[in-house]
Every structure is written in C-alpha cells, then in structure tokens.
C-alpha cells in the first residue's frame, strides 16, 4: 500500500510538467490576482487607520503580485506623488502611472477627476484641460465637470479657447441660472480685454436675477470701485445696506469703500455698524478687527515717529497727502491714545455681542499685549479662561504676564487652577514656586520645584536645568550658599545654555568675592547668549567692578542702563551704577545714582551712608 502511494506521487510529478503553461498557469495567475486583491483591501484598511507607511508597502506588494492591474498602478502612482516631496524622479514615475490608467479608462469618473486635479497641482494645465474635456464629453450632465473645463479653457492664453469658455459659461447659466462665481469669471476675462461694456452687461444681468440680494449689490459695488466709478460704487454699497439692514458684510463693504476714499469718520461709523450685526459670525468680526488694528498700526508707522516729550515729529496729514506739518509729540501721543480707545470700543462691541466666546477675549488680550497693556491683557485672558479653562496655552500666557508684573498672588491663584486642569504639566508648579519664593514661603517653593522635577521628562535637559537653577536661587536666599553653588554648577552641566543659571551663579560669586575669574567666564557666556539682556550686563559690570577693572565695568553698566526703562530699574542696579561711577572718579553722578537707589530702597543702611557721606561704603 505504501509503495502504491509513492508510485502515485511519482506519476503526478511526471504529469505536472505536461500541464505547465496551460491550466495550472491560469490557476497561478488567478491566485496572484486574488492575492493582490486581498492585499489591496488590507492596504485600504491601513489607509483608513492613517497608517500611511503600511498602506504604501501593501500597495507596492499588491502591484508586485499583479503588475498588470492598471488600477493598482494608478493608486501606487498617486501615492508616489503625494509622498515624493522634492524627488522629481519619483513624481514623474507616479504621474506616468496615473496617466496610463486615465487614457485607458477615462470613464472612471473619480480616478479621472483625481488625475485632473493632480495635473493642475503639478502645473500641467494643458493635460488638465484635456482631462476635463474628455470627462465633459463622457458626462455632459455633470455641471461640476463643465465648470472645471470652462475654467481650464479660460485660463488658457488662446483666445479661441477663451471664447469656448465664455460660450460654455453661457450655456451653464441657461441651465442653472445666473451665478456670481460664473459672472466673476466672465468679468475677469472681459476686464483682461478692457471690455468694460461687457463687464457692465454682466453686472446688470446678475443684479436683475438677484434684485434683493445685498451680497450681489456689494459685489457690483466692488467692480464699479475697481473701474474707478466711485459714484456708482457708493450707490450700490448703500443699496446693499438698504436691501438688507442686517447684513454685516454689506456695511463692511461700505466701510472699506469709505476707507479707500480717505473718509476716516465714515469708515469708523460703518465698521461699528458691521460689528453690531448678528449676521456676521465671530470669526469674520475678529478678521475685521484684525484688519482695523493692522491698518491703524500702518497709519502710525507712515505718519510719524514719536521721539521724546517736547520734541517735534513730521506727520503727513491724511486729508492732504502733500502737506507736512510739525506737531508736538504729546499731541501725537494723545491721538495715539485716542485711536487705542476707539479700537478698544470696537472690541467691546464684539464682546457685548459675543459675551460667551473665549476667542473674542483671547484676541482682545493679544491686542492689549501688543499695546503693552499687560494688566488689561491679563484681565481678558482671565475672562477667556473662565469660559474655557481647558486652554493650556492661555494659562501659560496669563501666568507669564502675572510674573512680569511681580503679581505673586495672581501667579499663585492662576498656577493652582492650571495645575488642577493640567496636573502633568511641569511648568505650572515651576511658576508657582517662583510666587512662593517671592512670598518667602521657601519650604513650599522647594516642594513645588521637586514636583516640577518629578513631572519633567528625563530627556528635557533645558527644563531640568531651569528647575535645578531655581533650587540654587532658593538655597542662596535661605542662606545655604554652598548648596546653592552646587545646584548652579549642576544646572549649567545639565544645560550649558542656561543663561539665567550662568548669570546668577556669576553674580553671587561676585557678591561673595570668590572665584571671580570663574564668575567672569560664566557671565561672558550669559552675555554672549543674550547680549541685550540688562540683568546679565549688570552682572558683567559688577564682576568687573569686583576685579577692579573699573573702566570696563562702567562701559557695561552704561549698556545696562541704556537697555533698562526707568520703571524697570531696581535699587540694586542704581547702587551698582553709583559704586562704579564713584570708582571712575565721577562722584556727582555716583551720588545721583545712590539717591535713586535710596528712593527705591529707603531702608538700606548702606545706601543711606553713601548718600549722607557722598562716598562709597561696603557692607
């Protein structure tokens, strides 16, 4: 029995070669096709899961199994183009694959549309036009294809093809009625030929089809304005507002017309009317506000430059462009303040209309920040976060503003709330630790630094270094100076670009009169990293002072003073300036700086002695 089975197998193997190239070959081909279809289905599944790499690999395998499948080639070619980037060779191969399938199967509507759009994307307008022509012939009832074909014809430089486009548009309007997009395309064509008569004919026809449309009237106004017909444009804009007094777009169009005519008062009046219309969505209103703000900034950039109180500046008067007048800076600043107040009123109109939209408050906050109104910006961010407390970025912005204002209570309240919504964010406890340190709650401050450190990714060396440096600040303030310097050096080792740690370590080394050369090396790096940062320049000056390099110290302190506004100056910085000027022989100027320092720190016994005795003293 066993021998019979073996013999049978031998017979089968003898027969197989005789069948090769006939029935079994067909079975193998069919198996490959079925396998390719299965792989292609799985590729589609991976694409639905956004697993693009897997999709591409499976598509490639399916094509290997069945290289004669033109649809597979088309899909593979399309993906080659999409991921080709700047690889012109891959894009060309992919395009060729798509092209082959299109000319073999132009009736495949969706694939042909895809090929047409890809042709447009790759800057092959003639091929795209051929796609839309063939599709239009195959599917004459599909108006979306007809519109594509007409657009492709109109974009050609061939006047004969342009004429076909106009004829096709006319036939579409006969079937579908007047359409503003079609009219606009035809008007663009007539304008390119300077055929204003046809432009007006198209507008009249469109307006006759939509006699009660504010948008059509506004559009017609735009065309009349572009043609220089200001009187006709104004009549059309006003008609739009009368046709639909609730249409915010109509009033916005009218406002822009007045702006183009230089009528600032009418422009502002109609902008207010537009913003008050409930028909305008919030995004559009915010875009209007953005355009008003940008226009306002441009006006002041071109109209003049503020210098110092009492000086004069040249300003071009908006009513008479050729007239140049000299105005007092204070008057100019009054006008700036007036415009800011007007813009603020526009924001308030929007907020009154949309009191529960956080985006409105966020946008107002960004404007106030640009105007250096940090307190107002913080208030608006606070309102935004009341409505949408799950906005992590806005919490960061709010707390940053409060930290700049040295508002420890505000930082504490905001950081605690932010930590409630985002317990895994390491930045919020880090910010809270700064508030606690300012309030001299040192134990709690260190707890927050530990918490921040625990939440920070071990690979995020910049943040870990910032935390370590903050621990150094805390240890120094609490008198643990040796531990402080350990933390500073560790912070610098963790992240050598931690300019704050470099600056603070250098400064405290100078205060301790120790390792001054090392301190000088550290602060040089900090200044190189941020050359216009006054605090680092002040530290640089102080280290040079301690090294008795007084002339260099004066050079550095002068730079620091130039970069610091009077409201940002500290008693410590004035005191340093006084000491440095004194050692450079400028005793009167030194006394002025000490007096400034005493005003900011009237309890300092050392500064009092310097002012009283008009000479330098050291603690």
Q: Residue 566 — pLDDT band, cuts 50, 70, 90?
A: confident
The angle at the Cα of 419, spanning 418 to 425, to the nearest 5 degrees, equals 100
Query: Looking at the predicted structure, is the pLDDT value of residue 244 above 50?
Result: yes
Domain regions of the chain by residue span: 565-619
Tell me the average pLDDT across 272-301: 80
pLDDT computed for residue 79 by the predictor: 85
pLDDT in tens, 437-451: 999 999 999 999 999
Most confident of 45-59, 74-88, 112-126, 245-259: 112-126
Q: Per mean pLDDT, which range of 83-87, 267-271, 372-376, 586-590 is the poorest?
A: 83-87
Cβ distance 72 to 62 under 8 Å? yes
Cβ-based burial of 139 (10 A; exposed 0-12, middle 13-18, buried ≥19): middle
pLDDT in tens, 356-393: 999 999 999 999 998 889 999 999 999 999 999 999 99
Q: Residue 229 — pLDDT band, cuts 50, 70, 90?
A: very high
The angle at the Cα of 270, spanning 264 to 276, to the nearest 5 degrees, equals 140
pLDDT computed for residue 209 by the predictor: 92
The angle at the Cα of 55, spanning 54 to 57, to the nearest 5 degrees, equals 65
Cβ-based burial of 41 (10 A; exposed 0-12, middle 13-18, buried ≥19): exposed
Q: Does domain 565-619 have CATH number 3.40.50.970?
A: no
Per cent of the chain over pLDDT 90 is 61
Give dist(CA 590, CA 603) in Å, integer.
19
CA-based nearest residue to 191, from 158, 154, 217? 154
pLDDT computed for residue 333 by the predictor: 64
If you compute the radius of gyration of the chain from its CA atoms, what whole number of angstroms results? Answer: 37
Q: Residue 552 — pLDDT band, cuts 50, 70, 90?
A: very high
Give dist(CA 422, CA 389) in Å, integer.
10
Give dist(CA 469, CA 370) in Å, integer.
31
Query: Looking at the predicted structure, is the pLDDT value of residue 322 above 70?
Result: no
Core vs surface per residue 281-291: b (16+ CB within 10 A) or e: eeebbbebbee
pLDDT computed for residue 302 by the predictor: 52
Local structure of residue 564 (DSSP, 8 states): S
For residue 462, the tally of other CB atoms under 10 A from its CB is 11
Query: Looking at the predicted structure, is the pLDDT value of residue 200 above 60?
Result: yes
Q: Is the pTM of this model over 0.95?
A: no
């Amino acid at each position: 029995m066993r021998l019979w089975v073996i013999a049978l197998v031998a017979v089968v193997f003898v027969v197989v070669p005789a069948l090769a190239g006939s029935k079994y070959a067909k079975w193998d081909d069919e198996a490959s096709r079925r396998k390719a279809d299965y792989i292609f289905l799985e590729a589609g599944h991976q694409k639905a899961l956004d697993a693009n790499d897997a999709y591409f690999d499976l598509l490639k395998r399916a094509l290997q199994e069945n290289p004669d499948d033109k649809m597979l080639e088309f899909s593979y070619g399309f993906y080659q183009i999409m991921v080709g980037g700047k690889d012109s060779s891959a894009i060309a191969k992919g395009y060729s694959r798509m092209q082959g399938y299109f000319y073999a199967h132009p009736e495949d509507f969706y694939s042909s549309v895809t090929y047409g759009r890809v042709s447009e994307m790759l800057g092959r307008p003639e091929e795209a036009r051929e796609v839309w022509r063939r599709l239009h012939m195959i599917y004459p009832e599909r108006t979306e294809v007809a519109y594509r074909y007409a657009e492709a014809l109109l974009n050609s430089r061939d006047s004969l093809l342009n004429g076909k486009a106009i004829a096709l548009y006319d036939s579409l309007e006969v079937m579908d009625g007047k359409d503003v997009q079609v009219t606009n395309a035809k008007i663009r064509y007539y304008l390119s030929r300077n055929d204003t008569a046809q432009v007006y004919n198209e507008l009249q026809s469109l307006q006759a089809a939509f006699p009660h449309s504010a948008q059509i009237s506004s559009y017609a106004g735009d065309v009349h304005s572009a043609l220089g017909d200001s009187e006709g444009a104004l009549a059309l804009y006003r008609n739009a507002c009368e046709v639909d007094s609730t249409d915010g777009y109509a009033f916005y169009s009218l406002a822009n017309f007045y702006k183009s005519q230089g009528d600032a008062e009418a422009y502002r009046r109609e902008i207010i009317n537009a913003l008050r219309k409930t028909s305008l969505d919030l995004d559009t209103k915010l875009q209007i506000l953005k355009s008003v703000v940008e226009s306002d900034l441009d006006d002041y950039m071109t109209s003049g430059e503020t210098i110092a109180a009492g000086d004069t500046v040249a300003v071009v008067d908006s009513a008479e462009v050729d007239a140049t007048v000299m105005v007092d800076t204070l008057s100019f600043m009054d006008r700036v303040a007036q415009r800011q107040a007007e813009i603020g009123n526009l924001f308030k109109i929007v907020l009154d209309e949309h009191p529960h939209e956080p985006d409105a408050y966020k946008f107002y906050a960004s404007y106030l920040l640009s105007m250096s109104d940090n307190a107002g910006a913080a208030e608006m961010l606070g309102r935004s976060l009341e409505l949408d407390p799950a906005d992590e970025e806005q919490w960061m912005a709010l707390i940053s503003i409060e930290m700049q204002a040295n508002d420890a209570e505000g930082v504490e309240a905001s950081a605690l709330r932010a930590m409630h919504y985002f317990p895994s964010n390491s930045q919020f406890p880090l910010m809270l630790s700064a508030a606690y340190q300012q309030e001299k709650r040192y134990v709690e401050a260190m707890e927050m630094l530990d918490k921040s450190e625990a939440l920070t990714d071990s690979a995020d060396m910049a943040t870990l270094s910032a935390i370590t440096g903050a621990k150094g600040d805390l240890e120094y303030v609490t008198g643990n100076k040796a531990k402080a310097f350990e933390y500073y050096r560790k912070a610098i080792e963790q992240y050598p670009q931690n300019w704050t740690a470099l600056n603070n370590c250098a400064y405290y080394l100078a205060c301790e009169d120790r390792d001054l050369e090392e301190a000088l090396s550290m602060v040089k790096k900090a200044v190189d990293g941020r050359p216009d940062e006054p605090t680092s320049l002040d530290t640089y000056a102080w280290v040079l002072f301690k090294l008795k390099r007084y002339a260099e110290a004066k050079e550095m302190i002068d730079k620091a003073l130039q970069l610091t506004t009077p409201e940002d100056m500290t008693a410590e910085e004035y005191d340093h300036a006084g000491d440095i000027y004194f050692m450079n022989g400028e005793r009167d100027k030194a006394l002025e700086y000490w007096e400034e320092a005493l005003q900011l720190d009237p309890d300092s016994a050392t500064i009092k002695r310097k002012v009283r005795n008009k000479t330098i003293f050291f603690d």
